[in-house]
Amino acid sequence: MDEKVGIGIIGCGNISGAYLKAMASFPVLDIRGIADLNDDLATARAAEFNVTARDIAALFADPDIEVIVNLTVPKAHVTVALQALDAGKHTYSEKPLGINFAEGKRLAEAAKAKSLRIGAAPDTFLGGSHQTARELIDQGVIGQPVGGTATFMCPGHERWHPNPDFYYEVGGGPMLDMGPYYITDLVNLFGPVSQVAGFAITPRTERTITSEPRNGQRIPVQVPTHVAGVMAFANGAVVQIGMSFDVAGHRHVPLEVYGTEGTLIVPDPNNFGGEVELLRKGGAFEVQETTQPYADGNYRSIGVADLAHAIRSNRPHRANGSLALHVLEVMEAFQTASDTGRTITITTATERPDALSSSLIDGRLAR
Ligand SMILES: NC(=O)c1ccc[n+]([C@@H]2O[C@H](COP(=O)([O-])OP(=O)(O)OC[C@H]3O[C@@H](n4cnc5c(N)ncnc54)[C@H](O)[C@@H]3O)[C@@H](O)[C@H]2O)c1
């Protein structure tokens, strides 16, 4: 069988450019076509990246395509992923896996029934800085994990995204939009979450777009835009999380991780690189050498490349459906906790994906 894995991309909007650019650095990926509901968008992206624009149906029907990469908006993720499974394809979706836990479970069950793989973004936890942080924790430098903080707070994406509506529709909001980066990275560092508590509020029911070309248009808000919560991890650590589209500015770092012997500052989990800082008890923060590759650029699609290698070598892939479903359940649990005034027990079990270094040859992703 060919070493390369045939890829079809559905969804040619904002993020597709980052994928198409990064995919060129992973020889295992053979892009056989890209498609969008909007044909003009697909045609323009195809010309930009020297790939072929095709009909959505043609991608599903192509026997040389093994994986459908789903870069559509959140509310279409599960629909498109189920269509891909029905067509006999593995599928990898942008985050979140689905807009609620129930549809995520449906997707996971469908994949299991068909013995096909599902994967999902984010794959930034495979970045060199996050893998370095994990290596430090695994070496025991912070001692016994105790807790941490995870913070993403901004004034809202209507400042820059040309079509920000989906961020405020069901399936959007800061938790489902940005939570996947933070919670996935924390699972990479600490393992699975066991319980969730939290509050979710909607300070404004309407927002005004200030980006072009729709500057001045008002859009409705269907979801909470400020979430404050706590996650208890199965390893015993307790982490505070704040996700907001309602904060004008703040001074928190994205991720801090505490242990009995030290504190780690983990860089922005929306990026692959950044400085990892370690404070050993009694000392001061020191920048750590990044010991892992993929810290020096935007490798968005490395999760797809890892999936492709995993298919060929018959091993588990890292940005996998079990991890994404667990993260989706955790994210939804903040809302349930807020609605019910209770602490929510997480039902899905997942394992930390293997450290990336176990699949690296000459420092790069291989079998
Ligand atoms: N924009 C970013 O910076 C960014 C970063 C990381 C992740 N993401 C994620 O990527 C996904 C896409 O975001 P985006 O910013 O590219 O959105 P976008 O609105 O710019 O593009 C989405 C595209 O999907 C197409 N589409 C929607 N439903 C479809 C369907 N059923 N079949 C085929 N095409 C369909 C739309 O026509 C549109 O072109 C979202 O899940 C988002 O959370 C976006």
Total domains, the chain: 2
Predicted TM-score (pTM) of the model is 0.97
Q: Which residues line ligand 1 (CB under 6 A)?
A: 10-15, 36-38, 41, 56, 71-74, 76, 80, 94-95, 163, 177
CB within 8 Å of 139: residues ≥ 6 apart: none
Contacts 24+ apart (CB under 8 A), 102-106: 103/78, 104/78, 104/324, 104/325, 104/328, 104/329, 105/325, 106/78, 106/82
Q: Please indicate, yes or no, whether residues 166 and 237 belong to a single structural domain of this protein.
A: yes
Q: Is 328 domain-assigned?
A: no
The number of the ligand 1 atom at minimal distance from the alpha carbon of 177 is 43
Asked if residue 118 belongs to a domain, the reply is yes
The CATH number that applies at residue 252 is: 3.30.360.10
Q: Which atom of ligand 1 is nearest to the CA of 300?
A: 6
User: Digits of tens for pLDDT over the chain (367 positions)?
Assistant: 568 999 999 999 999 999 999 999 999 999 999 999 999 999 999 999 999 999 999 999 999 999 999 999 999 999 999 999 999 999 999 999 999 999 999 999 999 999 999 999 999 999 999 999 999 999 999 999 999 999 999 999 999 999 999 999 998 999 999 999 999 999 999 999 999 999 999 999 999 999 999 999 999 999 999 999 999 999 999 999 999 999 999 999 999 999 999 999 999 999 999 999 999 999 999 999 998 999 999 999 999 999 999 999 999 999 999 999 999 999 999 999 999 999 999 999 999 999 998 888 877 887 6
Do 308 and 176 lie in one domain? The reply is: no
Residue bearing tokens 């588990």: 316
CA of 12 to the centre of ligand 1 (A): 7
- Shared domain for 119 and 154, answered yes or no, is no
Residue 187 · residue 352 · CB < 8 Å: yes
Pair 278, 311 in one domain: no
Same domain membership, residue 244 and residue 184: yes
- Are 151 and 93 within one domain? no
* Cα-based angle 316, 31, 88 (whole degrees, multiple of 5): 55
Q: Facing residues of 344 across strands?
A: 196
Q: Are residues 110 and 179 in the same domain?
A: no
Distance CA 85, CA 81 (A): 6
Q: Are residues 115 and 254 in the same domain?
A: no
Q: If you take atom 19 of ligand 1, which residue's CA is the nearest one?
A: 13
If you measure from the C-alpha of residue 51 to the centroid of ligand 1, how many angstroms do you get, rounded to a whole number?
Answer: 18
Q: Do the domain assignments include residue 117?
A: yes
Amino acid at 288: Q
In a domain, 33, yes or no: yes
The protein residue whose alpha carbon is closest to atom 29 in ligand 1 is 72
User: 137 and 277 share a domain?
Assistant: yes
Q: Residues 153, 266: one domain?
A: yes
Distance 307 CA to ligand 1 centre (A): 21
Phi then psi for residue 135, to 5 deg, are -60, -40
Q: How far is the CA of 328 from the centre of ligand 1 (A)?
A: 18
Same domain, residue pair 25 and 109:
yes
Return the structure tokens found at 363.
């420092």
Give residue 174's domain range: 125-287
Q: 11 CA to middle of ligand 1, Å?
A: 6
Question: Probe ligand 1: pick from 19, 21, 45, 72, max atoms within 8 Å of CB?
Answer: 72
